[in-house]
Structure 1
Amino acid sequence: MKNFRKIILLFTVIFVSGIIITVKTVNSSLQKKDTLEKASEIEKDITYLLKAEKTIETV
């Protein structure tokens, strides 16, 4: 029974540490500030493409 309890404890520790590492990784990736800059760059690219599309004449 002692070995069985040690095995259960080991798996529990691995499971809990995996959850903690996953939560920290997700939180750190969600708190990045560069997403606003990328969104504005994408918006500028889209408006440029739309203006370029308007100037192209269709046959």
Structure 2
Amino acid sequence: MREPWILVGALIDFVGVAIIAYALNVPFVLLGWSVAQVGLNFALAAGPKMKDDPRSVG
């Protein structure tokens, strides 16, 4: 079951990008960038294995 990891990663990434969008100084941009990177790592780490998962559709 890799789909929940992709969904959670996308949500974390969204939060990170929102932090960047509303950042008023560099430390908040760095915080948002770090949060977004963690979210993308969650989402993208599960993606390549989707084709090997016998339970996945497609």
TM-score (structure 2 length as normaliser)? 0.43
Instruction: Answer with 1 or 2: which has the greater Rg.
Output: 1
RCO greater where, 1 or 2, for CA within 8 Å and sep 6 or more? Answer: 2
Pick the structure with more helix per residue.
1
TM-score (structure 1 length as normaliser)? 0.43
